[in-house]
């Protein structure tokens, strides 16, 4: 073998090794293309329609006016209204209350809850209801006081909401009786309270047996 042939083979192998080194390692067979960034899907109209939307709070529906009995053509000078006390634990057992009222101004009827009340005929929404003390909402401010009405001393509790008088609760009685009344109104508060206190001034205690004969 001559020297020229050996030099040619050596140059060929040297050139091949240089090309392989410059090309770098071949990619591994298990490597795939680079992973793409995840794309957040845009909500569709159908998906948005399933989102809960808060509903408007319904406004409080005012109570219907009370139905008053037709007044008599020639009413008596007064009528009686009686019933069990609202504070039975502080009342002599078997004792009821009784008040007198002018049937030209007042009428016995039932409120929306079936309770017997005394409603004014001329002053709209002026109503006397048997009542006991109770907790008040935070929006209600109550002023407490005492006043003599007729021959009796009453605790007078006046309730205000946003500095507007809403109702008054009267608590009182004689030695045998302790009971309460709420006087509510919408307008003409002074006139309503004046006429209502005229009724409360007649408050007396009676036996339960006598209460059965009341109209």
Provide the pLDDT confidence category of residue 89 given band limits of 50, 70 and 90: very high
Output 87 or 68, whichever has higher pLDDT.
Answer: 87
Residue 131 has pLDDT above 90, yes or no: yes
Residue 16 has pLDDT above 70, yes or no: no
Which among 23-32, 64-73, 141-150 has the top mean pLDDT? 141-150
Give the pLDDT confidence score for residue 51 in this predicted structure.
33
- Average pLDDT for 46-52: 34
Sequence-ordered strand ranges (E) for the chain = 79-83, 95-101, 106-110, 116-120, 127-130, 140-149, 152-161, 164-172, 179-184, 204-207
What's the rounded Cα separation, in Å, for the pair 107 and 194? Answer: 16
Provide the pLDDT confidence category of residue 48 given band limits of 50, 70 and 90: very low
Give the pLDDT confidence score for residue 13 in this predicted structure.
52
Give the pLDDT confidence score for residue 190 in this predicted structure.
97
Give the pLDDT confidence score for residue 11 in this predicted structure.
54
Write the class of the CATH domain 79-211. Answer: alpha beta
Q: Do the beta carbons of residue 197 and residue 154 sit within 8 Å?
A: no
With vertex at residue 74, the alpha carbon angle to CA 69 and CA 77, rounded to the nearest 5 degrees, is 90
Give the pLDDT confidence score for residue 54 in this predicted structure.
32
Provide the sign of the torsion angle of the four alpha carbons 111, 116, 122, 123, taken in this order.
negative
Give the pLDDT confidence score for residue 90 in this predicted structure.
96
Strand partners, 79: 101
Q: What percent of the chain has a predicted confidence (pLDDT) above 90?
A: 54
Q: Work out the mean pLDDT of the chain and round it to a whole number.
A: 78
Provide the pLDDT confidence category of residue 107 given band limits of 50, 70 and 90: very high
Strand 127-130, strand 140-149: pairing? unpaired
Provide the pLDDT confidence category of residue 60 given band limits of 50, 70 and 90: very low
What's the rounded Cα separation, in Å, for the pair 132 and 182? Answer: 8
Long-range own/partner contacts, residues 152-159 (CB < 8 A, 24 or more apart): 152/201, 152/203, 154/200, 157/133
Give the pLDDT confidence score for residue 50 in this predicted structure.
35
Q: Do the beta carbons of residue 1 and residue 8 sit within 8 Å?
A: no
User: Minimum mean pLDDT among 93-102, 133-142, 143-152, 180-189: which range?
Assistant: 133-142
């Amino acid at each position: 073998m001559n020297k020229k042939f050996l030099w040619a083979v050596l140059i060929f192998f040297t050139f091949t090794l240089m090309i392989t080194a410059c090309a770098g390692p071949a990619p591994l067979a298990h490597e795939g293309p680079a992973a793409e960034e995840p794309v957040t899907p845009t909500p569709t109209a159908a998906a948005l329609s399933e989102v809960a939307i808060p509903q408007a709070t319904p406004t409080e529906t005012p109570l219907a006016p009370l139905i008053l009995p037709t007044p008599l053509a020639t009413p008596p000078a007064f009528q009686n209204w009686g019933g069990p006390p609202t504070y039975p634990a502080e009342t002599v057992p078997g004792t009821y209350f009784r008040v007198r009222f002018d049937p030209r101004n007042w009428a016995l009827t039932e409120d929306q809850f079936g309770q017997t009340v005394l409603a004014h005929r001329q002053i709209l929404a002026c109503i006397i209801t048997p009542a006991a003390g109770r907790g008040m909402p935070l929006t209600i401010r109550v002023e407490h006081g005492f006043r003599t009405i007729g021959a009796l001393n009453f605790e007078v509790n006046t309730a205000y909401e946003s500095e507007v008088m809403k109702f008054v609760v009267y608590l009182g009685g004689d030695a045998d009786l302790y009971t309460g009344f709420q006087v509510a109104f919408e307008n003409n508060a002074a006139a309503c309270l004046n006429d209502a206190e005229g009724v409360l001034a007649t408050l007396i205690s009676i036996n339960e047996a006598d209460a059965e004969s009341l109209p």
